Amino acid sequence: MLAHLPVLQVIVPLLAAPSCLIIKRPVLVWMFTLMVSGAAFLISIALLQQVLASGTISYEMGGWAPPWGIEYRIDELNAILLLIISAISTVVLLAAQTSITAEISEDRHTIFYALYLLSLAGMLGIVSTGDAFNVFVFLEISSLSAYAMIAMGQGRRALWASYQYLIMGTIGATFILISIGLMYQMTGTLNMADLADRLPQVANTKTVLVAFAFFIVGVCLKLALFPLHMWLPNAYSYAPSIVTAFFAATSTKVALYLLIRFTFSVFGYSFSFTTLPLQELFLGLGLLGIFIASAAAIYQTNLKHLFAYSSVAQIGYMIVGFSVGTSAGLMATLLHVFNHALIKGALFLALGAVMYRVNSVQLNDFKGLARQMPLTMAAIVVGGLSLIGVPLTVGFVSKWYLVMAVLDNGWWPVAVLILLGSLLAIVYVWKIVEVAYFIDPEPGTPQVSEAPMALLVPVWLLVAGNIYFGIDTRLGVQMAQSAAQSLFGGSP
């Protein structure tokens, strides 16, 4: 049983998805989905422990040895991602039933959970597999179900947002597919480890360069790196709250994982960083993303939009860490992946609670909300402080390591820019606080009460995570450190 954990991680949610259609009763489906996600979470913990205890796990699908058969390969990097995805998914699901009753009509609940599980299985699959083509397959599974879930949002704008995402996402996926095809053409293999062995021999060909370029552009579309982020704000804003919370915390992280995996493990550090000016490019785009997206966030009046732009900015921080090109920089990026999942999960779930009571996340409707929903607003404030990077929250820990990594390279101006970026976060977070705490509600707006426990508990679980991992940083830091070191192996 234990030997089969890598495949169980993916196959359990994948098989559970169609089973939802058999169960049919929404509440039962919800409990079933929650159980499946919880099981995936437990599996990911077990996998992480196995990896930490005995190193990389290689699983041969169907007993076929790689590189002919499909290999599932779990090292520290995958294990962390699996843990983040399944943990966030489970916490978000706790709130799902209550939240979607307000946002999705009841006859679609069963389908919703089936799609949710498919999407979860897709993400877990992308992260677990050691096969390049398999990556594409799972990417499509998770993306297609994502488009459908986003389209379930209220109003017609959800359809438009979903369509926008569909077009951009498909272009991204196609680019990745082209890249994989070119690599296959040059090397005759799809197994990542095998690719890593063979690519250096053909590294100087134009085809490999083109493959690399296609891959980078495709994956950057998926991870919404500025300026390829156009699909993200609308997709996050008009999707059902639960979907937003789940995706904001996980989906861009999966794309970031692909970026790291392919540049470091497949193409190799020296090819990615020395043959091509990837470092300068990513540093520039990352910094631009931080400033432009944060500035855009300041002017948003829809809070889901606001935090979506903030997500684009946070991706900028991760890319800056990546562009440093050292083990310390990569570690900062990975740490921020973990921490940002906690921050944005908490914030978007709290917005879901507001959506449940007020049925709007427009800034105007937040007037005086702090008196009516004190616990929800407090969660938004703590999440916001974490986003700014105030000490004792996870946001501070990420910033600390990121700036340290940048200083290690002697990039003082970049360190200054990173910290200046936090100032913009203060502006957009405080805009919300002022409205919620200091402006009286418009006369005539109905009085609302605090969100139900079913929503508050998951929100505060994530908020507590923000504080706990901001004080006891060992888990996040150790995981990120060992993953970054193993990716760098012997290279600098």
Toward another protein, which CB reaches closer, 355 or 435?
435
Residue type, 198: R
Say which residues have a Cβ less than 8 Å from residue 478's Cβ, sequence separation at least 6.
none
DSSP track, 68-110: TS-EEEE-HHHHHHHHHHHHHHHHHHHHHHHHHHHHS-GGGHH
In the complex with another protein, the residue whose CB is nearer, 25 or 371, is: 371
Number of other CB atoms surrounding residue 419 within 10 Å: 13
d(CA 312, CA 286): 9
State in angstroms the smallest separation of the CB of 387 from another protein: 12
Bridge partners of residue 57, in order along the sequence? 74
Chain center to CA of 298: 22
Q: Could you tell me the smallest distance in angstroms from the CB atom of residue 367 to another protein?
A: 13
99 vs 481 by CB, closer to another protein: 481
The whole-angstrom separation of Cα 126 and Cα 258 is: 8
Of 21 and 392, the one with the shorter C-beta distance to another protein is 392
Give the span between the Cα atoms of 166 and 170, in whole angstroms.
6
- In the complex, the smallest distance separating the C-beta of residue 134 from another protein, rounded to whole angstroms, is 37
* CB 425 to another protein: min, Å: 9
Two tokens at 454?
């079913």
Collapsing DSSP to helix, strand or coil, 20 comes out as helix
- Residue 59 phi/psi, 5° resolution? -115, 130
Query: What are φ and ψ of residue 446, in 5° steps?
Result: -65, 145
How far apart are the C-alpha atoms of 63 and 70, rounded to whole Å? 9
Least CB distance to another protein at residue 438 (A): 5
Closest CA to 261 of 100, 51, 5, 73: 73
Nearest to another protein of 324, 388 (CB atom):
388
Q: Measured from the CB of residue 396, what is the shortest distance to another protein in angstroms?
A: 9
Report the greatest alpha carbon distance in the chain.
72
Q: How far is the CB of 391 from another protein (least distance, A)?
A: 4
CA separation for the pair 457, 99 (Å, rounded): 13
For tokens 């550090």, what's the residue?
Answer: 269
Closest among 451, 411, 438 to 325, alpha carbons compared: 411
Q: Residue 362 pairs with which residues in a beta bridge? A: 302
Compute the least distance from the CB of residue 376 to another protein, in Å.
Answer: 18
- For residue 4, the minimal CB distance to another protein (Å) is 37
Surface-to-core class of residue 489, CB atoms within 10 Å of its CB (0-12 exposed, 13-18 middle, 19+ buried): exposed
Contact positions vs another protein (CB under 8 A):
385, 388-392, 397, 399-400, 403-404, 407-408, 415-416, 419-420, 422-423, 426, 430, 434, 438, 470-473, 477
Least Å from the CB of residue 433 to another protein: 9
Residues 6+ apart with CB under 8 A from 333: 256, 260, 318, 319, 321, 322, 402
As given in the structure block, the two tokens for residue 178 are 């082209």
**Pairwise CA distance, residues 439 & 445, whole Å:** 13
When the beta carbons of 160 and 438 are compared against another protein, the nearer one is 438
Minimum distance from CB of 385 to another protein (Å)?
A: 8
